[in-house]
Structure 1
Amino acid sequence: MVRTYRSALREEQARQTRVAVLDAASRCFRRDGYHTTTMKGIAAEAGVSAQTVFAQGGKAALLLAAVDRSLVGDDEEVPLLRRENMNLLVTEQDRAAKLAQLRLVALDILPTAGPMMWVFREAAGADPEIAEAWQEYERRRFEDYRAVVASFGPFLRMDLDRAVDVYWSVACFEVLDKFLRVRGWTPEEFADWLLEFVDRALLNPAPPSASPRTRG
């Protein structure tokens, strides 16, 4: 029993250390940019030794883990569509409830992921390893969006391929940045706009009683 307890304690301490390092790396990447950030700088930000930071992976690995955390809150290898909020969105059958869940997903992901996506794309421009990861990320984003749009199948006003292309082009961090950073919208305002866009542009007109429900 003592060994089990000590093992669990060490695992929890290791997890907390990794969280601290990744949170510090995220702050450094967003504040200073990927290329300017150093492992020593991350260590200072986290209040740990450089050796502790290197134990979590190289700088590219830390960036990719930080990107994952910005998207789903952790760096566990669990596909996005298997996450609870996305699973609820895909499996929900009621039109209004699906749109309301889409708004919640947008609020949960886009505001936190947007800044890290800029860092990610900037780094991909000069680092082949990260560039390959960026291409994989874009491939997965398209496939995830396809699953989301396909789940609206009975309500779509256009063919699936066209609807996926439209949604993929709009629900991206470049558009998010223009609304939030450039024009000063709040995440809630953006989420409301995205819901209305999907409802009006991608879906057939709903009966008066089936208008989208928002949760403020």
Structure 2
Amino acid sequence: MTVAKNPDASRRYRSPLREEQARRTHAAVIEAATACFIEKGYAATTMKDVAARAGVSVETVYGQGGKASLLLAAVDRTLVGDDAPVPVIERAPLREVLESPDARVALRRFRDLVVEGMPQALPLMHAFHVAAGGDAEIGAAYQTYEQRRLADMTKIAESLEPGLRVPVAEAADVIWALFSTPAIHALMVERGWGVERWADWAISVLDRTLLTDDKSR
């Protein structure tokens, strides 16, 4: 007698508990990698360092990807605060900037967003920037990140219209350059300005150089 095959028998069994454990393990490894990259730098960090920090085996760390993959995952998680596949520019905080009623309100909201997020993001972004100079894979990823950042800055520049005194493309270039990791790190960290002073200065530069003199906008 032939036994009828269960059409679902070959399907992969899904265990919610197992999936949650895998999610937590992934998060723990990425958090550990983030801390190691900030403290030791990308080049000096080993997979053993990450494993020790996360409290897991080296094999488990490798199960989350190679070192370059860990850095890129750490950058994405640091920028958005979670693992959801939603771009930064589409998240609520930046949507508020883009949907501001006028250019100066948009800049004030952008300033507050920077003050809130930059202290946490900058250390890892600096490690990312440094690593890009010594690793071809990281360097290529950094170029992709910069292109994506320019696209985001272009959307912010577009949201400042009609308050702009310069073309959108020029405004986007200025915002992109002013908010680059090396520029921020140079003043905020190396010169000890801190995030409040740096953000106030950066926004004032954007106001003076990009916006019209009509304060009523």
Measured against the shorter chain, the TM-score band is 0.7 to 0.9
* Partner in structure 2 of residue 152 of structure 1: 160
Say which SS state the counterpart of residue 154 (structure 1) adopts: coil
The answer to whether the Cα contact below 8 Å between 2:129 and 2:181 also exists between their aligned partners in 1 is no
List structure 1 segments (4+ residues) > 4 angstroms apart after TM superposition.
Answer: none
Shift of residue 106, structure 1, vs aligned partner: 1.2
CA deviation profile, 1:27-82 (whole Å, cap 9, x unmatched): 11111111111111100011111122111111110000111122111243221211
Aligned residue for 2:139? 131
| Matches of 1:163 and 1:94, distance apart in 2 | 16
TM-score w.r.t. the length of structure 2 is: 0.86
Q: CA RMSD in A?
A: 1.9
Task: State the AA in 2 paired with 1:49.
Answer: S
In the aligned structure 1, how far is the partner of 2:27 from the partner of 2:126? Answer: 21
Measure the CA separation in 2 of the matches of 1:192 and 1:8.
47
1:81 pairs with 2:82: no
Partner of 2:200: 192
Given that residues 71 and 110 in structure 1 are in contact (C-alpha distance below 8 angstroms), is that contact kept between their aligned partners in structure 2? no
**Is 1:29 aligned with 2:21?**
no
Offset from partner CA, 1:120-179 (integer Å, 9 cap, x none): 122222322212111101111111101111110110011112211211111111121122
Query: Do the aligned partners of 1:43 and 1:53 also contact (CA within 8 Å) in 2?
Result: yes
Residue in structure 1 matched with residue 11 of structure 2 by the alignment: none
Letter in 1 for 2:72: L
Alignment correspondent of 2:175: 167
Structure 1: gaps of 5 or more residues: 1-5, 211-216
SS of the residue 2:170 aligns to: helix
Whole-Å separation in 2 of the counterparts to 1:96 and 1:127:
40
Kindly indicate whether the alpha-carbon contact (under 8 Å) linking 2:131 and 2:138 is maintained by their aligned counterparts in 1: yes
- Decide which of 51, 55, 80 is 1:72's aligned counterpart: 80
Structure with max Cα Rg? 2
The structure 2 residue matched to 1:181, chosen from 184, 189, 193, is: 189
Alpha-carbon distance in structure 1 between the residues aligned to 2:111 and 2:161: 18
Partner SS for 1:158: coil
Partner Cα separation in structure 1 for residue 135 and residue 191 of structure 2: 31
8 Å Cα contact 1:26/1:66 also seen in 2: yes
Residue equivalent to 2:124: 116
Number of aligned positions between the proteins = 204
Q: Is 2:138 aligned against 1:143?
A: no
Aligned partners of 1:114 and 1:177 also within 8 Å: yes
> Of residues 50, 56, 62 in structure 2, which corresponds to 1:48?
56
Q: Which has the higher contact order (CA 8 A, sep 6+)?
A: 1
2-structure distance, mates of 1:84, 1:113:
18
Name the CA distance, whole Å, in 1 between partners of 2:25 and 2:196: 33
